[in-house]
Amino acid sequence: MKLYFTRHGKTEWNKQHRFQGMHGDSPLLSSSFAQIQALSCYLQDVPFAAVYASPSKRAKQTAQGIVSQWEQSVPIFYDANLKEMGYGMLERKSIDKMQEQYQETLTNMRHRLDLYDPSPFNGETVSAMLERMTKTIIHASHYHDSPVLFVGHGASMTAAIQFFSRKELC
């Protein structure tokens, strides 16, 4: 069975270069809806059994936008395990400003997840995030015989893909 992963459309906070993790949720940019429609067209011939999406508004809108263009009816399941990694006190804050304060930690977040320690800002660990995400991904892969699409978030989806493909978390 094939598993497909996609990130939600670009948001206001992405554009403003702000942290948007498990608890932050800014609106999608208007340009994101055209990209969602293009992705929907690209995927329309895949016989998906289901779509699993984060319950964050940005991921829900992306999942709904993808499925709404398809001729076949595909159920969407919203699962909190697919939320973005929790960034603790960094949520909603400027990435550039926080980079000055947490330079090594944030460099590790982007380039060396194996060394990432979010304790200075009460963030979620990579292992905790992977534990919750893999529960849902493994459940879906065992439950369905046809392809499944997961709609989530950049950091958490990237880490999950690396985990399942047995690549180093870097």
pLDDT at 78 over 60: yes
- Owning domain of residue 36: 3-164
165 pLDDT band (50/70/90 cuts)?
A: confident
Mean pLDDT computed over 99-106: 93
170 pLDDT band (50/70/90 cuts)?
A: very low
pLDDT at 62 over 80: yes
Q: Is 69 helix (H, G, I), strand (E, B) or coil?
A: coil
Residue 84 contacts residue 20 (beta carbons within 8 Å): yes
pLDDT at 111 over 90: no
In CATH, what number is assigned to the domain containing residue 43? 3.40.50.1240
pLDDT of residue 114: 85
Mean pLDDT computed over 111-121: 91
Would 169 be classed as within a structural domain?
no
105 pLDDT band (50/70/90 cuts)?
A: very high
169 pLDDT band (50/70/90 cuts)?
A: low
Please count the structural domains in the chain. Answer: 1
pLDDT at 168 over 80: no
Q: Is 147 helix (H, G, I), strand (E, B) or coil?
A: coil
Characterize the bridge pairing of strands 76-78 and 148-152: unpaired
pLDDT tens digits for range 135-146: 999 999 999 999
Provide, rounded to the nearest whole percent, the portion of the chain with pLDDT above 70. Answer: 98
Mean pLDDT over the full length of the chain: 94
Residue 134 contacts residue 163 (beta carbons within 8 Å): yes
Residue 151 contacts residue 6 (beta carbons within 8 Å): yes
Mean pLDDT computed over 109-114: 86
Q: For the chain, how far is it from start to end, CA to CA, in angstroms? A: 27
Q: What share of the chain is helix, strand, coil (3-state, %, to 5)?
A: 50, 10, 35
Mean pLDDT computed over 115-133: 95
Model confidence, pTM: 0.93
Would 170 be classed as within a structural domain?
no
Write out the binding residues for substrate: 7-14, 58, 84-87
Residues marked as catalytic: 8, 84
Residue from 116, 140, 139 nearest 128 by CA: 116
Residue 36 contacts residue 62 (beta carbons within 8 Å): yes
Q: Tokens standing for 118?
A: 């979010």
Write out the binding residues: 7-14, 58, 84-87
Would 36 be classed as within a structural domain?
yes
